[in-house]
Amino acid sequence: MTAQLIIFFVLAGLAVIGAVSLIFQRHPIHSALSLIVVMVALAGLYLLLGAEFVAAVQIIVYGGAIMVLFVLVIMLLNAGVEERTNFSKLAATAGIPLAVALTAFLAATIAKSGPVTTGVRPGSVASTQGLATMLFREFVYPFELTSFLILVAILGALVLAQREKGS
């Protein structure tokens, strides 16, 4: 058991506990906090994988912007504890078995395929500079497209949030 494996299991455990807690918490704020735990644990795993830049961006954007937006909306709408309505019997009866089956299937497939062997020394290329070069050379058109996406999203959010005049 190397130090890396121990760190992996601690972070993985945190992530899974956070995700389970997201399901079982009744209050949206508690669910949001659980999700933040998952995200921070994932950022730690990215660091373990040698992806420093992605880890930092994960925390800055996911932890610092997206989840803050969620918390802000929960506070703004004063969302209370989730109502327990049992409208959908289908979800209750078929949901858990299907989800477990899906997870088991995915995990089994991955486990059966065995360790990925590539012959490349892992983590040898993971650098912020390499990432930037790639982003601005090979992926420059997708990159520009995402900027359009953000622009459209901003406009969309504005239009949605605007109250109609006179109301």
Helix (H) or strand (E) holding 70: helix 67-77
Contact with other proteins (CB under 8 A) among 1, 10, 16, 165: 16
10 binds other proteins (CB under 8 A): no
What is the Cα–Cα distance from 5 to 10, expressed in whole angstroms?
9
Residues of span 136-165 touching other proteins by CB under 8 A: 139, 142, 146, 149-150, 152-154, 156-157, 160-161
The smaller minimum CB distance to other proteins, of residues 58 and 165, is found at: 58
Query: Cα 72 to chain center, whole Å?
Result: 18
Tell me the C-alpha to C-alpha distance, in Å, between residue 95 and each of 19, 104, 109, 125, 148. Answer: 17, 14, 21, 42, 37
Minimum separation from the CB atom of position 92 to other proteins (A): 8
Minimum separation from the CB atom of position 166 to other proteins (A): 15
Residues of span 22-81 touching other proteins by CB under 8 A: 22-23, 27-33, 35-36, 38-40, 42-43, 45-46, 48-54, 56-66, 68-77, 79
Residues of span 91-130 touching other proteins by CB under 8 A: 91, 95-96, 99-100, 102-103, 106-107, 110-111, 113-116, 118, 120-126, 128, 130
What is the Cα–Cα distance from 99 to 109, expressed in whole angstroms?
15
Q: How many residues bind other proteins (CB under 8 A)?
A: 102
The smaller minimum CB distance to other proteins, of residues 128 and 165, is found at: 128
Helix (H) or strand (E) holding 96: helix 89-113
Contact call for residues 36 and 14 (beta carbons, < 8 A): no
Nearest to 18 by CA among 41, 2, 1: 41
